[in-house]
Structure 1
Amino acid sequence: MGVRDTYRHGDLSRALVEAGVELARAGGPTAVALRAATRRAGVSPNAAYRHFADRGALLEAVCSAGQARVAEAIEAEQALIPDATDPVTAARLRFRAVGTGYLHFALAEPGLFQTAFTASPDLESATSGSRAGAVGRGPFELLTDALDRLVAVGVLPGGRRPGAEFLAWSAVHGLAMLLINGPLRALEAGQAEVLIRRVVDMVEQGL
């Protein structure tokens, strides 16, 4: 069966994105290249250009795929919250799960995590469906939802809500980069987990 037959009933675009995801996992954003992706997908370089105009377009698609997986990691963390938890505690736990899910993904998939936040020049694409997890919300939207819920249950004063997502995101993303690509990368897993918990504590208390 030839390459053309292999993808006759499939999605070559998706195959190239998945190839790009694997490249990102192995080497971060700099490893994502059209030619390398076509080799992994088993197609000719010319085939890639029928789906992606250039490397930047492929990187953007891989970025979206990566953010969708970050969202899924956050959702998995939120799914661990007991159903019987009272509304206030549930809101706080769901907010904390955004940070812990985000950071756990960064540690588990450092290359893809770094790639996931490389290509976007602004927040316009943060609500794109291509970046959503199973519940249809991307990582940024899951964070804003959790903050809005804190306001709804009276934990976070409404006057402190504007811009809170940027403060929370900055703190956890900064720790993620220190842990995966900075001076904290040599910490043992237990030490990293303590830092994750304390940074999330700091963010929750600081809001």
Structure 2
Amino acid sequence: MSNDVKRPSGRHHGDLRRVLEEAALELVAEGGPKACTLAEVSRRAGVSVAAPYKHFADRDSLLAALVQKGYAEQRDRYVAAMKRKVEPAEQLAAFARAYVEFAAEQRPMFELTFAAGLDKTKYPELLNAGAELFEVLREPARNLRNTEAGSRDLVLAVAAAAHGLAVFVLEGVLLNVSQAKDLAASSARAIV
């Protein structure tokens, strides 16, 4: 092989981590988390099978990094949606709407968050990110319920309703995302 032969742009320099993550998300989009292997990620990224190990200890480490990004994006979306509302019940309804929207718009990230099969005790940063996300929802719930247990139960009920509707959208039970978002918001209001 001549020294004049170049690899495709973006596949061999400082953005290797990003390229690997993008390839992994493509695989998840096509076949779910189980379809993502480091060998296939490497092939898609146009790098050697050893290249991912420069950034990730193994497949689960790659998926954990993506889940961490997914949690951060979810948190940003939920906080932004909730800030547009004043009343706590409407804040929770805005969260539920944003939850379904995230699942529909970011299906691979959503699936990784809930179906990657990661041992979260091995990745405490994921436990922390999930707890931070939960805490964002606790603030309006505390304004609606007098006890910690009551606010926790309210958050769980609203999140469970939103999650169920998000899964219905992804599974094709509900084909209209806008309708599912409206149902999530109205369900949250009814639960409150």
TM value normalised by structure 1: 0.70
Q: Deviations over 1:77-132 (max 9, x none)?
A: 235x16xx4xxx2x33333222211111112232331122223444842324xxxx
Distance 2:70 2:25 in 1: 7
Q: Is the 8 A contact 2:11 2:47 kept in 1?
A: no
Aligned to 1:133: none
Aligned to 1:197: 185
Distance 1:114 1:43 in 2: 26
Aligned to 2:94: 97
Q: Deviations over 1:176-205 (max 9, x none)?
A: 1122126x24x33443233222222233x2
AA paired with 1:112? M
Q: Structure 1's 190 and 145: CA in aligned 2 closer, same or farther, altered over 3 A?
A: closer
Residue from 21, 27, 30 that aligns with 1:17: 21
Distance 1:68 1:28 in 2: 20
Distance 2:186 2:10 in 1: 53
Q: Is the 8 A contact 2:104 2:169 kept in 1?
A: yes
The count of aligned residue pairs is: 182
Aligned to 2:45: 41
Counting aligned pairs with the same residue, the percent is 29
1:165-176 mapped onto 2 (5 Å cutoff) = 165-176=155-166
AA paired with 1:38? S
Residue from 155, 172, 188 that aligns with 2:176: 188
Consecutive unaligned residues of structure 1, counting only runs of 5 or more, are 129-137
Q: Structure 1's 47 and 165: CA in aligned 2 closer, same or farther, altered over 3 A?
A: same
Consecutive unaligned residues of structure 2, counting only runs of 5 or more, are 1-5
TM value normalised by structure 2: 0.75
Distance 2:169 2:11 in 1: 41
Q: Structure 1's 190 and 60: CA in aligned 2 closer, same or farther, altered over 3 A?
A: closer
Q: Structure 1's 32 and 95: CA in aligned 2 closer, same or farther, altered over 3 A?
A: same
AA paired with 1:146? L
Q: Deviations over 1:20-72 (max 9, x none)?
A: 12332343213322122223322111112333333222222222223333223
Aligned to 1:134: none
